[in-house]
Amino acid sequence: MESTARQMATFPLAVKMVMIDLDGTLIDTVPDLAAAANRMLSDLGRSAWDEAHYRTWIGNGVPRFVKRALTGEMQSEPEAALFERGLALFRKHYGAAVADLSRPYPGVVAGLERLARAGFQLACITNKAEAFTLPLLRQLDLHKYFKLVLSGDSLPKQKPDPLPLTHACKHFGITPDHGVLVGDSSNDVQAARAAGMPVICVTYGYNHGHDIRESHPDAVVESLTDVPPYLRLYA
């Protein structure tokens, strides 16, 4: 495991709660997302994108993901009627096959088991819509590990806003410095910094094609199994 500790981070971190991102951290969801998006594009008479494009487009919720699939660009806006039609089609296709091809990353189940056995409260914090989040976690048998699941539409704001993180802290009755976020993207780092919380990032996942080290998380790990040594249970 590789540490890129900031001066303010002291390891092991004394925490009670571990928040974990979903897409790109727990589960490789690109195969199902890409398949659903390409079915949407086919319905609209448009050409499909390859999976490599979709890997750079994940991380800001379903509406932005659909806009990127429709325009081929990160921040462009499609025509409103086209977007609404595309969004409805994507939701239909993805909802019908949310976990057909998606799988947990290597080390995820073992890492969750270790964290749970160590006594940490676990929460899943994602920008994915609840209609997709809960079925995905249940079908892959990961839901049982989490005491709290916050989706992209659970609250008025989503990452990189700190609201989901601070809400989770209130839910568990802790201050942000006694929680930690584990994620894969700059969105996760920004949310954690804004919440006043340490953040650990995995080297794999979806960060719009950028090395996560450029975002300066407190630590970088190769697998979820590498996270427990960075933590100790806060009494």
- The tokens for 112 are 């969750």
For tokens 């409805």, what's the residue?
A: 88
For tokens 């995820």, what's the residue?
A: 108
Q: Is 50 a catalytic residue?
A: no
**Residues contacting 217, CB < 8 A, separation 6+:** 4, 188, 189, 192, 199, 200, 201
Q: Which residues pair with 14 in a beta bridge?
A: 232
For tokens 């079915």, what's the residue?
A: 39
Catalytic, out of 21, 28, 184, 226: 21
**Tally of CB atoms within 10 A around 227:** 23
Q: How far apart are CA 20 and CA 27, in angstroms?
A: 11
- Nearest to residue 20, comparing CAs of 183, 140, 177? 183
φ and ψ at 3, to 5 degrees? -105, 135
Q: How far apart are CA 35 and CA 95, in angstroms?
A: 12
**Catalytic (active-site) positions:** 21
